[in-house]
Amino acid sequence: MSDNNIYIYGYGGMATLFHHIAKKNGLSIAGFCIEDTFFNPQTIENLPLKRYSEIVAENKQQAIDLYIAVGPTKMNHVREKIYKMAKGDGINTPNFICQSTFELPPYSIGDGNIILNSGVIHSGATIGDNNFLSSSVTLGHGVTLGNGNFFAGGVIVAGEATIQERCFFGLGVTISDNITIADESFIGQGCAITKNTEQGSTYTPAAYKKQKFKSDRFCDLVF
Give me the CATH number covering residue 54: 3.40.50.20
Residues 54 and 144 in one domain: no
Q: For the CA atoms of the chain, what is the radius of gyration?
A: 19
* Overall domain count for the chain: 2
pLDDT, position 212: 75
> Residue-wise pLDDT tens for the chain (223 aa)?
445 799 999 999 999 999 999 999 999 999 999 999 999 889 899 999 999 999 999 999 999 999 999 999 999 999 999 999 999 999 999 999 999 999 999 999 999 999 999 999 999 999 999 999 999 999 999 999 999 999 999 999 999 999 999 999 999 999 999 999 999 999 999 999 999 999 999 999 876 666 676 766 765 765 5
Half-sphere exposure at residue 165, Cβ-oriented, CA atoms within 13 angstroms: 7
Q: Residue 188 belongs to a domain with what CATH number?
A: 2.160.10.10
d(CA 192, CA 154): 12
Query: Does 183 map to a domain?
Result: yes
CA nearest to 123, candidates 98, 152, 160:
160
Residue 133 contacts residue 119 (beta carbons within 8 Å): yes
Residues 84 and 117 in one domain: no
Burial class of residue 46 in the structure, from the number of CB atoms within 10 Å of its CB (0-12 exposed, 13-18 middle, 19+ buried)? exposed
Residue 88 CA, distance from chain mean position: 21
Last residue of a domain, one of 43, 67, 88: 88
pLDDT, position 104: 97
Q: What is the pTM of this model?
A: 0.92
pLDDT, position 2: 45
Domain containing residue 180: 95-203
Query: Does 223 map to a domain?
Result: no
Contact partners, residue 115, CB within 8 Å, separation at least 6: 95, 96, 97, 98, 101, 121, 133, 137
CA nearest to 137, candidates 123, 150, 155:
155
Assign 50 to helix, strand or coil: strand
pLDDT, position 206: 75
